[in-house]
Amino acid sequence: MSWKLGLVSFGSLGVPIVNNWAIGLPIASADPGNGFMRIQDVSVAVAVGLMLALPVELFARAHHRRQLRVHEGEMRVLLEENRKMRAQILREAEQRRVEWLTGLESSRAARKEKYSPSIAEIDKSTPVKFEDIVRRLMERDGLKAQVIGGRGDQAVDVLAIDAADRAIAVQCKHTTRDRKVDSKVLYQINGTAQAVYEASESIVVTNGSFTRDATDWGAKHGIRLIDRDTLARWSTDGDHLYQVIDLELPV
């Protein structure tokens, strides 16, 4: 406000000052005379200017506050509508999830009939055969899968694409002695799954188990782990892949 009042004061003084200067008279004088600007006139001009500026400034500020309240009200309405919309989206997503899981549960018998090797069969398989078992299980669950394993696979043995067109990279670790898979395997797939195969999900599956360090590291970095018990649910019991490792559903 101060700079506005300063401009008003300058303008109030400016007109008479410029007028006297233009006709060659002194800018101001204490004595009245022809064309002279009295100091009293200067004071009156400043006072009038301030009196005119003050209500204008007060009106402008009141108008600004009203506009601000209107905008704040509109913002509150938009935020509330956004909150309701998000809540509705979450409800619909949860409903679709429940319907999807219900469908998976009802189709369990068909999956078991289609392909459900036992853990004993898996234990007797070779590492190469184990990769094919994982591929077939993923195809049984509706994913498109292929075996990548071999020299140059860059830590990915099976690559799958789900219904949402997401790539899922899988590293398979077969053991005949119930050996534990350590975190080094997780380091490898974490470094290549996304960079090389553009995979959005990484999985390490074994018919054995994982060390505590591997379990902790996988949880921290989003690597999904399928150990012996989880593999039994997936293969023998007919659970769907999305159920055993709680993947985000492609709906």
pLDDT digits (tens, 9 = 90+) for 35-47: 445 555 556 666 6
Which of 7-21, 36-50, 86-100, 187-201 is most confident? 187-201
pLDDT reported for residue 102: 79
Q: Are residues 21 and 48 in the same domain?
A: yes
Secondary structure letter of residue 200 according to DSSP:
S
SS3 of residue 192 by DSSP: helix
pTM to 2 decimal places: 0.64
Per-residue pLDDT reduced to its tens digit, 112-163: 999 999 999 999 999 999 999 999 999 999 999 999 966 666 889 999 999 8
Q: What is the reported pLDDT for 213? A: 95
Question: Is residue 91 domain-shared with residue 138, that is, in the same domain?
Answer: no
Q: Residue 133 and residue 128: Cα distance in Å, rounded?
A: 9
C-alpha to C-alpha distance for 54 and 52, rounded to whole angstroms: 6
pLDDT at 51 over 80: no
Are both 137 and 40 inside the same structural domain? no
Query: Same structural domain for residues 91 and 122?
Result: no
The answer to whether residues 120 and 227 belong to one domain is yes
Predicted confidence (pLDDT) per residue in 95-115, tens digit: 877 777 777 888 899 999 999
Task: Please tell me the total count of domains within the chain.
Answer: 2
Mark whether 95 and 120 lie in a shared domain: no
Q: Which two tokens stand for residue 66?
A: 């009203």
User: Is there a domain that residue 251 lies in?
Assistant: no
User: Does 145 fall in a domain?
Assistant: yes
pLDDT value at position 101? 75
Query: Is 148 strand, coil or helix?
Result: coil
Is residue 13 within 8 Å of 45, Cβ to Cβ?
yes
Q: What is the DSSP string of 92-146?
A: HHHHHHHHHHHHHHHTHHHHHHH----HHHHHHS-HHHHHHHHHHHHHHTT-EEE
Of 241, 243, 201, 242, the C-alpha closest to 115 is: 241
CATH of the domain at 158: 3.40.1350.10
Structural domain boundaries enclosing 195: 116-244
- pLDDT tens string 224-249: 999 999 999 999 999 999 889 888 77
Sign of CA dihedral 113, 118, 123, 124: negative
Q: Which residues, in sequence order, are bridge partners of residue 170?
A: 158, 203
Top mean-pLDDT range of 74-83, 132-141, 159-168: 132-141
Residues 192 and 89 in one domain: no
